[in-house]
Structure 1
Amino acid sequence: MISTNEYFEGNVKSLGYTSTTGKSTVGVMEAGEYEFGTSTHETMHVVEGEMTVKLPNSSEWTTYKAGASYEIEANEKFQVKVSEQTAYLCQYK
């Protein structure tokens, strides 16, 4: 079953699905600044565009471009800035 998700007044939208490797979402973020929370471990893959991210327990922002990925543990919050529409794949464990 494919699920649809919409956050931040429609500025972040994704489709959720389950494959043989587990649960994932694929989506797009409009330009903006966002704070996300995790309930499970997440691996975020930037598909197109770029994300500038402030990971938990970090005071620095890091930019991840298309082809790059980063990980966030369960029960954490992280901040994301995007300057243009950016596509991502998020895998959950």
Structure 2
Amino acid sequence: MLAVNEYFEGQVKSIGFQGEDKPASVGVMEAGDYEFGTAAPEVMHVISGALTVLLPDNDEWQTFKAGDKFDVVGDAKFQVKVSVQTAYLCVYG
């Protein structure tokens, strides 16, 4: 079953699904600044566009472009800056 999610007054939309091995979601973020929280570890894959991210316990912002991925620990918050519409795939666990 697909789960449609909307965050930040519609600025971020995703569709959750059961991947081959783990739950995942695919979505799009509009330009803006966001703070996300994690329950479990996540791997974020940038499909199109770019995400500039401040990961937990890190003092430096990092930019990830299409084809890049990054890991986020579980039970944490992280900051994201988006300058153009950006598509992503997030794999949980």
- What TM-score do the two structures reach when normalised by structure 1? 0.98
1:55 paired residue number = 55
- 1:19 Cα deviation after fit: 2.2
How high is the sequence identity, in percent, across the aligned residues? 56
Runs of 4+ in 1 over 2 A off after TM superposition: none
Q: Distance in 2 between matches of 1:19 and 1:35?
A: 25
2:36 paired residue number = 36
- What TM-score do the two structures reach when normalised by structure 2? 0.98
The question of 1:82 aligning with 2:82 is answered: yes
* Runs (5+) with no aligned partner, structure 2: none
Q: Distance in 1 between matches of 2:50 and 2:88?
A: 9
Aligned length: 93
1:69 paired residue number = 69
Provide the secondary structure at the position in 2 that maps to 1:35.
strand
